[in-house]
Each structure stands twice: as C-alpha cells, then as structure tokens.
Amino acid sequence: MKYKEEELRDIPRGLYSYIDDKPFTHCIECEKFLLSEDTEYLVERICKNYPEYGTTETIFDYALCMECAMKLHSEMSLESQQTLQNYFMKNIDLESRNKIKDNLSIGDSIANCVVSGKPMKDCQEYQVCAHCVGDKVYMGNPPYMLSGNVLEEIMNLLSNKTQDMMNGFYSRHRTPTPGIYEPDPILVLV
C-alpha cells in the first residue's frame, strides 16, 4: 500500500514504548522488524489515570505487525467479528471523522473516546490505538482512544471463545503484577 506524504506523521513520544521511551522496533508476537518503510503495524497502549496524583500510568503497551493483527482477528469467533463491526458502525460517526481527518492532529484524534466522546483526562482507564507505517503514524486511519467504560461494554459483547483468545494473548505477553491489570486490558482488533 502506498501512502501520501501528507497522511504520514512522525510517531509522537506518547506512542513510544513505555519500557525504553523509543519507537517500537519489533512485533510483540512474531518479532518482525517494524521500522522498515512499508511495514504496517498497530501500536496499542492501555493506561490508567490517577487524577488525585495528577498522573497516568501505562499498564501495557505493544506493537503488533499487521500480519499478526490479522491472524489474531481471524482467530476471533465469527460472531464476535460481526458484533464488533456492528458495534463500531453503530457507535462511530465514520463519515464525520473521515471529513476532518486531513486536519486532525494525533493529539486531537485521541483526546476523546471515539465512541462516547468522553475526554481522556476524565477516563479512569483508556486504550489508545494507532496504525503505523515504518516510523510514521498513518493518518488515513487516524489513531483513536477508547474509554475503559467502552472497552468493558465491548468485552461483554464478545463470545467466550474470543475472550479466551484475547486473554491468551495478554497472558503470553505481559509481566504479571498482581492488581495492576484490574480491569484486564482488552485487545480490540478493528
């Protein structure tokens, strides 16, 4: 897939790996190198706000090459795939989002939950997702944020098979620290 230069933006620090404060270099699942010019991948970060302390904690972040993302998506039950598609079509105004995406900054695109409109600063938990290509964020499919409440709503719509698959993904890749994953991070492959 070829990209227009105006659709590509530098990856901001907010999408760097929490571990080393640098852009992700490898897929968490297959170790594919991600910073090649045409390599597509997703960056996801799950965070928890602590307004009483004026801080935000990254619970889990990772990069997943598009091949692995598609493989994981295909492992979801057909029922869950359809449910997710219907949920997002019903709850996201893609037409309006597409009209403004050319003038959207990365910060603006994740400032509010794409479903509920709730500001990031008011979310107890949230997840940020970005479609990247090499060392750039692809704004043709702008980054978005989902609030913890929306993630919980989505999780409750998914089949047991899909929930088990997602739990397996997180079990393989996260360092267990009791209590830190409450609620559990939710993988949303859209």
How do the domains of the chain map onto residue ranges?
5-173
Q: Residue range 174-179: average pLDDT? A: 54
**How far, in Å, CA of 58 to CA of 86, rounded?**
29
Read off the pTM.
Answer: 0.86
Torsion sign, CA atoms 92, 98, 100, 101: positive
Alpha helices in 19-92 (DSSP H): 66-75, 78-91
110's enclosing H/E stretch is helix 106-110
For residues 128 and 143, is the Cβ–Cβ distance under 8 A? yes
| 67-71, 110-114, 166-170: the lowest-pLDDT one | 166-170
| 42-46, 113-117, 158-162, 174-178: the lowest-pLDDT one | 174-178
Look at 57 and 96; give whichever has higher pLDDT.
Answer: 57
**What pLDDT does 189 receive?**
53
**What pLDDT does 178 receive?**
46
Map residue 138 onto helix, strand or coil: strand
Q: Is the pLDDT of residue 2 over 90?
A: no
Tokens of 125: 């938990």
What are the backbone angles phi and psi of residue 119, rounded to the nearest 5°?
-65, 145
Share of the chain above pLDDT 90, in %: 66
9-50 pLDDT tens trace: 999 999 999 999 999 999 999 999 999 989 999 999 999 999
Q: Residue range 150-166: average pLDDT? A: 90
What are the backbone angles phi and psi of residue 173, rounded to the nearest 5°?
-120, -10
For residues 154 and 183, is the Cβ–Cβ distance under 8 A? no
Q: Residue range 71-93: average pLDDT? A: 92
